[in-house]
């Protein structure tokens, strides 16, 4: 319930920011950062279910989103599980231990940008960042949070992103996991891989 309410609050704020064409305040940034996506919440997309309370929440959400946003969010329920900050911090600490100090960074499965937001300042100051996110709402929240700092957020599937080969110094992410494939005619060697192995490939 808390996750649902936090997500709805973030979406309402995103609408306000986009309508007013402005960047979020520090307090508003916290509201946006509480958005955790719809992973594990398929009930939020079933207005016909027997649980009347969740059915009402589903109707509320459907009224809040456009049909395209609704479909994008609903399709994310199997794998939109955003990474907790202690895990993100540990990964950045490991990269610093390995000697990474900055460069051209790719985040291919952005969510709302936890890996970007928790990036150590010393690395961020020496880096350019490209980020890809499939879900519309998540990508727009990330753009609102980090676009002003030069992060290039592309809202599309990773398989559709036009990225130069051999360009990036670092790829960091928590990619989606599942036993389904990604249709990608440009990278045929990986098109038969499960989605997580596709990302790794």
pLDDT at 86 over 80: yes
Q: What are phi and psi of 106, to 5 degrees?
A: -120, 130
Which of the four pLDDT bands, split at 50, 70 and 90, describes residue 80?
A: confident
How far is it, in rounded angstroms, from Cα 32 to Cα 135? Answer: 15
Which of the four pLDDT bands, split at 50, 70 and 90, describes residue 191?
A: confident
What is the spatial order of strands in the sheet that 104-107 belongs to? 152-155, 128-133, 104-107, 170-171
Query: Please, is 181 exposed, middle or buried when counting C-beta atoms within 10 Å of its C-beta (0-12, 13-18, 19+)?
Result: middle
Nearby residues of 6 by Cβ (< 8 Å), 6 or more positions away: 34, 35, 36
Average pLDDT over residues 100-105: 98
pLDDT at 186 over 80: no
Average pLDDT over residues 20-31: 96
pLDDT value of position 190: 84
Does the predicted model carry a pTM greater than 0.75? yes
Which of the four pLDDT bands, split at 50, 70 and 90, describes residue 61?
A: very high
pLDDT value of position 152: 97
């Amino acid at each position: 319930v808390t996750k649902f309410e936090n997500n709805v609050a973030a979406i309402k704020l995103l609408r306000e920011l986009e309508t007013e064409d402005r960047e979020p305040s520090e307090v508003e940034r916290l509201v946006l950062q509480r958005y955790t996506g719809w992973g594990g919440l398929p009930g939020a997309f079933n207005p016909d279910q027997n649980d009347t309370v969740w059915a009402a929440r589903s109707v509320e959400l459907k009224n809040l989103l456009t049909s395209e946003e609704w479909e994008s969010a609903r399709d994310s329920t199997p794998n939109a599980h955003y990474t907790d900050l202690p895990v993100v911090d540990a990964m950045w600490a490991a990269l610093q231990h390995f000697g990474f100090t900055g460069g051209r960074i790719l985040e291919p499965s952005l969510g709302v940008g936890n890996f970007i937001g928790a990036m150590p300042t010393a690395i961020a100051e020496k880096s350019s960042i490209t980020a890809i996110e499939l879900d519309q709402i998540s990508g727009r929240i990330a753009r609102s949070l980090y676009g002003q700092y030069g992060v290039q957020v592309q809202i599309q599937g990773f398989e559709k992103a036009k990225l130069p080969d051999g360009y990036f110094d670092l790829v960091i992410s928590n990619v989606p996991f599942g036993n389904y494939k990604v249709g990608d005619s440009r990278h045929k060697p990986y098109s038969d891989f499960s989605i997580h192995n596709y990302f790794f490939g």
